[in-house]
Chain A
Amino acid sequence: KNQVEQSPQSLIILEGKNCTLQCNYTVSPFSNLRWYKQDTGRGPVSLTIMTFSENTKSNGRYTATLDADTKQSSLHITASQLSDSASYICVVSDRGSTLGRLYFGRGTQLTVWP
């Protein structure tokens, strides 16, 4: 069964601190993995995308890693800001369907305190 598991479920950090969010998946055949940021009451917005051959991708203070062998990914946030408070969702796409089916994790709810 194709699944995406994220941890922790929620996280509280102080402004300026770093944090790392984890994602494990069992989706096969694998196509790509994305991290989305979803602000409360809004739609998800893509932060990074990685294919099988990529093991790291950065977008400003966000750095994602991918280990396709162990089927694990992480999202590292550096020097957190209050605006980083949001849900971060790991999304894996399979290669096996013309639809391009996406498998969503439940997200990690990040709260940044001043």
Chain B
Amino acid sequence: DAGITQSPRHKVTETGTPVTLRCHQTENHRYMYWYRQDPGHGLRLIHYSYGVKDTDKGEVSDGYSVSRSKTEDFLLTLESATSSQTSVYFCAISASQGARVNTEAFFGQGTRLTVV
């Protein structure tokens, strides 16, 4: 299995509180991603990173921010959690094999976040 660790694995938090999820990799891969998974929507991209301090928004980025100060760590922050952010969050990593050939992503085990 690819070396990806998500923490925490489960979290219950109250509406309005800040929450930070951590993704740590030991593969030295360039790309890192945060997705959320909700029934009927598949996985939707929140933010991704293509290098240290280089990040970009995905399709559902509102209410989320990310940071990547080191190759191995990608943090996802909910500044003020809302019930609509109750979801399962997956981190993924991907290497780069040149400008036009994209490699597959490897996924962490997920973090189940409940906002009450």
Binding partners A and B: no
Which residues of A are in contact with B by a Cβ distance under 8 Å?
none
